[in-house]
A and B are shown apart, each in its own frame.
Chain A
Amino acid sequence: MSPKVLIVDDSATVRQQVRLALTQAGFDVIEANDGLEGLDKINSASDIKAVICDVNMPRMNGLEMLERCHTQGGPRMPVLMLTTEGKPALIQKAKEYGAKGWIVKPFKADLLVAAVKQLTRAA
């Protein structure tokens, strides 16, 4: 059974790009449009092996989603932030909330796949 990864991003373009990269590498991909939907999927699906999450999204942004996970005892699976943001203070905040990595868009498919493989192996 292919390991399942959740992509949380309000851009259908980015979700499709991530899906393409990860399915070609043997992962199964599910999607969420924003942090609220992402949180719901994280809490309801027990077989998600990793989460890839944007920062700037409507309704609930990625850092807010991460903070909610953190207050609930921390995300059960590794969370990798995928965003246009590159500010060190935001990266540090994500790390404090339990994120395991950060990629600045646009992403290189091979780097994304390598990061997800490493995180799912370590989890």
Chain B
Amino acid sequence: MNVTTRPEDAQALAEALTTHCCSELLSDFGFEPVWLAPEHAVPDGVSFCSVVGFSGQKLRGSIIMSSSGRAANELSSHIPGPIRDVIGEIANQLGGRLKNKFLLYGVDLYMTLPVVLRGEHFAPMPRIELRPIGFSIGSGSMWVWVDTECFDGFEMAVRPNPAEAPMAEGEALLF
């Protein structure tokens, strides 16, 4: 199996997979996200931010999800529960999907429980320049950043291995 040890490959894969996971997750919740360009990456007014950390052997990082008040209200109108829990659960499920996708590349990650914050204008202060993944939800906007850090000895498959496939989202199995 071909492997890579380059941190930039891990970051690029994390961003590509996170973009895909955002699209899948929001579609599963009944939304049709419209992608926003990174230069519009400033949510206005009240923002809700959720952070989920992940770590594995030689790779760790965070997913930071920032949602404008209007986007949060839109999500909350479709998904039952207090806004705090809705935002936290979306970040949690996004993290779960990313973790499952990374398994296909031989990378096993543990996720932390989500932290949810409320304030005005959230953006990460990353170690490296991060490209935000943005989309509109109703009349609001959401931005997602994924930040990875690799350590000596890190390696990852360059292509997904179907033999490592986990159970898919929405699937049910009775024993």
Contact = CB atoms under 8 A, between A and B. Distances in A.
Interface in B115-141: none
B29 interface: yes
Nearest to A54: B92
Nearest to A84: B96
A17 B89 CA distance: 12
How many chain B residues sit at the interface, stated as a range, is 20 to 34
Interface string B85-112: 1101100110111011001000010010
B28 A106 contact: yes
A118 to B, nearest CB: 6
B166 A13 contact: no
B173 A91 contact: yes
Nearest to B113: A58
B92 A84 contact: yes
A12 B172 CA distance: 21
B85 A11 contact: yes
A83 B92 CA distance: 10
Given A86-B169, A100-B175, A115-B172, A17 B99 contact: no
Given A13-B89, A17-B80, A84 B99 contact: yes
Interface string B32-63: 00000000000000000000000000000000
Contact of B167 (A17, A86, A100): A86
A15 to B, nearest CB: 8
Interface string B146-175: 000000000000000000001111111111
Nearest to A17: B80
B95 A111 contact: no
A67 interface: no
Given A11-B92, A13-B79, A106 B174 contact: no
Given A11-B92, A86-B168, A105-B169, A16 B81 contact: yes
Interface residues of A, number: 35
Given A13-B79, A13-B89, A16-B80, A105 B173 contact: no
B96 A85 contact: yes
Nearest to A99: B175
Nearest to B169: A104
A76 interface: no
Interface string A1-40: 0000000001111101100100000000000000000000
25 contacts: A11-B88, A14-B81, A17-B80, A20-B80, A84-B100, A86-B96, A86-B100, A86-B169, A87-B103, A101-B173, A101-B174, A101-B175, A102-B172, A102-B173, A102-B175, A103-B171, A103-B172, A103-B173, A104-B168, A104-B169, A105-B93, A106-B170, A107-B172, A115-B174, A118-B174
Closest 4 CB pairs of A and B: A84-B96, A86-B166, A13-B81, A86-B167
